[in-house]
Structure 1
């Protein structure tokens, strides 16, 4: 709560690194008044903790949205605080003491006054974990797509190699996406093994709605059918979502890192 010692001081801008288990969330973004009460969101949970600390509402700005069921290891966000007595790094234990266990603050630091977690982000990286063994343990099920087989990783990487540069990604967005432009700059995509899992990693300046899941679902579907590597690039160039494959499930998808 604002006290006499803070009234004349400028607000500090605090940047957070956040992890969360998306299994029981509708996603990151705060719900509208009409949708309120239909489920939890990560943004709302953190804003409730911030309000308890400050004694008044504190808006939280996220680097981007994640959908229902999608997890995060490195979501970024920022807020402005009028509490002068707490060092920036102490917001980690302070907020974690007020948050549910499926949301954790991993790091906190002071950012420049003009820093904006969404608009200043240069690259966002997602990782999707596919379980390729015969049967994952029960506790792993919410965090993998249980494929149950090892796909042809070389073919998948050949197909994914075209995901680099400035690209119109219309073929891999969901209907209802309200983005002003569907062109994104992709830094690259790759598959690599990790134990009994296959990891799909993709980085871009930003993503369309369900874009990562649409790309992965299409790649796995083409690989399963033994398609030629060029078929994926043809779908990409067509800008036609009806030519792409199914959307991969949300389980297994993590917002892994945000770079500034």
Structure 2
């Protein structure tokens, strides 16, 4: 059904502008890995008069499936969606978290059955309900071996905890090999730590996008985003448009990336 609230002329101009943006982007320009911090779902629900934040989280989840198709259609190889932080689990009301966990489970199951996408859970499974962990594990198994868009679902995720977990794993492995702490200190490198992160073996994000106008990382991929480009969109999560995404990619393409400079 056509959205009759938008004048036909405006919709036509929007479509033409969107097509022009897409045509200007070529495969070699694309970031390999895009991180998305979906934010503003609760405000979206409140502004529209919904009684609970769950309406906003559902709309945000639907938008994330749409966002993944935009990325896939442009040839982006890896996308990480920040869906639920460990801080959210600790500080949000239990009824909101219960609804959000159900929504995330539905999203994980949905995207694992769509196209040839490959799903990986990144986060601390120990802080998640068993039912959600089972859904995430099933999504990984179902998509194992697929060669399409690689999707990291960051659920129960915290960047600082990820680094601590990586260091713990390195120390355990070193201890099992019977080596001393002095030897570990001499061997330790950024590459070694990177290999033990939840995203070990993946490219670091080239571009991190955040919706809702907030300009902070909120403990998202702190190690991996050391040299990432950042783009902040004013739109609330469920209101994100493809043209907003294409503008973010265009902005990324126009930047001169400096690694440490």
TM-score using structure 2 length: 0.24
Query: Which structure shows the bigger proportion of residues in helix conformation?
Result: 2
TM-score using structure 1 length: 0.24
Query: Which structure shows the bigger proportion of residues in strand conformation?
Result: 1
